[in-house]
Amino acid sequence: MGMATKVILIVLITLPVLAACRPAKDDPPAKRVEALFENLIGADEPGAAVLVAKGGRAVFARGWGVTDLRTKRPIGPETNFRLASVTKPFTAMAVMLLVRDGKLRYEDGLTDIFPGFPEYGREITVRRLLNHTSGLPDYEDVMPAPDPALPVESVQISDAEVLDLLKERTEGKFPPGARWAYSNSGYVLLGLVVEKVSGRTFPDFLRERIFAPLGMTGTVVYERGKNEIANRAFGHARENGAWIEKDQSPTSATRGDGRVYSSLVDLAKWDNALHRHTLMSAEEMAPALAPVQVESEPPTEPDGSPAAYGFGWFLNPWNGRARMWHYGETSGFRTAVHRLTDDGLTVVVLCNRDDRDASALALKTAGIYLGGKQP
């Protein structure tokens, strides 16, 4: 089968992913989800979009609130939100595709890929970047303080500048593999690894190998001045009792850790592909779903609760249910994807406001669809 034919077949498979959605009046769980979000979001406020999928097919997809306070366009299933760290599963998939292509190995070290990288990077392997055991300091903690008098877009740190910052150091926070510590730096470097190994820009590689084959036509790695975001939601924060647009920060331009924009429509296609093993067979996907083991204390979530992490996915269960999930937090956005794999249930919550816990809302929604009594 030729590549063009394969792409057409994949797109045809993923087109119906929203076709199963029914009006809420015909679906008691949907009515409860609608009531939950209608109590949280006003019609003229920044809002949220929610997707529920079962067995790779969407059964609920709806938005509340507006994309921005200037146009007050309503949020819908095609509204594109900045995913923030929900980008990381896409970055991990790009790396895994290159490993499958034979162009990269999980045990390749940073000094193999970037010959100018200091000696402390020799034991920082691709695998350790993927599962957050590299020991790299988070670039947000070591970057120079931006000038508050300048426009935020002019002081944003780039991927290349993150690499340069890390090259200036002589050691990491801990020996590679000794501990687990969530690292945005690691995923910025993975985006650069994809570019170095593939010979394609990171945005082009994701578009050609993931987004286009799956029919995710509205999903982009945003680069200001180079591409545009259709149906864009802008981020917001509430300050002094009023909403303000707060869409960018000094760390908003790095790519592999958080620069993808996507919608419910496209994320339904992504979920369908994960469910059907369209991009990766179950065997090829297995390394991503193996929780990392470390030499010292076990991984913990930011709130101190136990965690597990594979390649681009948290893997700790929820109420005894197997789960692969990720959350995202950035200026003006909160996002979450929870895939309860044994149940075949996926919930996505995307918010263009920073006062809602997208992950908690996703789990409340999952509980509703699993028959829970409380929203």
Q: Which residues contact residue 184 at a Cβ distance below 8 angstroms, ignoring those fewer than 6 apart?
A: 85, 138, 139, 140, 251, 254, 257, 258
pLDDT of residue 315: 96
**Is-contact 272 14, C-beta < 8 A?**
yes
Evaluate if residue 67 carries a pLDDT over 60: yes
What residues make up the domain containing 59? 3-369
Provide the number of structural domains found in the chain: 1
Q: The dihedral of CA 194, 195, 201, 202: what is its sign? A: positive
Task: Assess if residue 374 is contained within a domain.
Answer: no
Mean pLDDT, rounded, of the chain: 92
pLDDT of residue 298: 80
Percent of the chain whose predicted confidence (pLDDT) is above 90: 85
The vertex-222 CA angle with 45 and 325, nearest 5°, equals 70
Evaluate if residue 88 carries a pLDDT over 50: yes
- Expressed in percent and rounded to 5, the helix, strand and coil fractions of the chain are 35, 15, 45
Residue 176 — pLDDT band, cuts 50, 70, 90? Answer: very high
pLDDT of residue 20: 53
pLDDT of residue 13: 41
- Give residue-wise pLDDT tens across range 225-257: 899 999 999 999 999 989 999 999 999 999 999
Task: Assess if residue 235 is contained within a domain.
Answer: yes
Task: Assess if residue 295 is contained within a domain.
Answer: yes
Task: Assess if residue 143 is contained within a domain.
Answer: yes
pLDDT of residue 17: 60
Alpha helices in the chain (DSSP H): 3-14, 28-38, 88-100, 110-113, 126-130, 139-142, 159-167, 184-198, 202-206, 264-276, 282-285, 358-369
**Is-contact 50 348, C-beta < 8 A?**
yes
Evaluate if residue 71 carries a pLDDT over 70: yes
What gap in Å lies between CA 166 and CA 177, rounded to an integer?
18
- Give residue-wise pLDDT tens across range 93-108: 999 999 999 999 999 9
Compute the average pLDDT of residues 253-267.
Answer: 97
The vertex-333 CA angle with 203 and 133, nearest 5°, equals 65
Compute the average pLDDT of residues 56-84.
Answer: 98
Which of 92, 24, 162, 151 minimizes the C-alpha distance to 310?
92
Q: What's 90's domain CATH number?
A: 3.40.710.10
State how far the alpha carbon of 275 is from the alpha carbons of 5, 20, 97, in Å: 21, 16, 17
pLDDT of residue 295: 77
**Is-contact 229 82, C-beta < 8 A?**
no
- Give residue-wise pLDDT tens across range 143-165: 989 898 999 999 999 999 999 99
Evaluate if residue 173 carries a pLDDT over 70: yes
DSSP 171: -
Token digits of residue 166:
């890390």
pLDDT of residue 299: 82
pLDDT of residue 83: 98
- Give residue-wise pLDDT tens across range 292-342: 998 777 887 767 788 899 999 999 999 999 999 999 999 999 999 999 999
Evaluate if residue 123 carries a pLDDT over 70: yes
- Give residue-wise pLDDT tens across range 4-55: 444 334 444 444 466 556 566 678 999 999 999 999 999 999 999 999 999 9
pLDDT of residue 372: 63
Task: Assess if residue 375 is contained within a domain.
Answer: no
Evaluate if residue 206 carries a pLDDT over 70: yes
What gap in Å lies between CA 99 and CA 214, rounded to an integer?
20
